[in-house]
Amino acid sequence: MAAAPARRQVRGENRWPAAIVVLAASGLQMTLPPWLAFGPHWLLPSLEIALLSALVASSPGRLERRSAALRVGGLALAGLLSLTNVTFAVLLVGDLARGGGTRSAAALLLAGGALWTANVLIFALISLRLLRGGEPGPAAGPAVTAPVAEPHLM
């Protein structure tokens, strides 16, 4: 019987790809016109960037299973990104339903395109987090290996 392979220690995932996605989505939200906000149009994206900064400062290098507070902070950031995008989308649809007044078709299309792109980035961030089981790092439990068929001649 073969010995079980030794498990190697795997460090958590790099934080910077997720941080870049958050910055890109927040940046797209900040480019939206001021008429798509119920207050200063930069307020919610600025809160997202502030929360991201706090998370990066608390664990700058890698996403690891260190504390529940970091996990809650990451989930809160994903929720805030989604809430901000939904808020802007509802305001855009409401503006379209009222006729938009003096807004040009190009301005409405650019705003819709920025919201759609931010939504794709946010969905990717959330779905990858869920596919990973919600926590960064190696999968729990023993490694599963498929049996290897030995070739033989007839």
Q: What are the sequence ranges of the domains in the chain?
A: 13-131
- pLDDT, tens digit (0-9, with 9 covering 90-100), for 134-151: 555 554 444 545 555 554
If pLDDT is split at 50, 70 and 90, which confidence band does 121 have?
Answer: very high
Instruction: Sort 74 into a burial class: Cβ within 10 Å, 0-12 / 13-18 / 19+.
Output: buried
If pLDDT is split at 50, 70 and 90, which confidence band does 97 have?
Answer: confident
> What is the pTM (predicted TM-score) of this model?
0.68
Angle at 126 between CA 94 and CA 116, to 5 degrees: 35
CB 90 within 8 A of CB 36: no
- Average per-residue pLDDT in the chain? 76
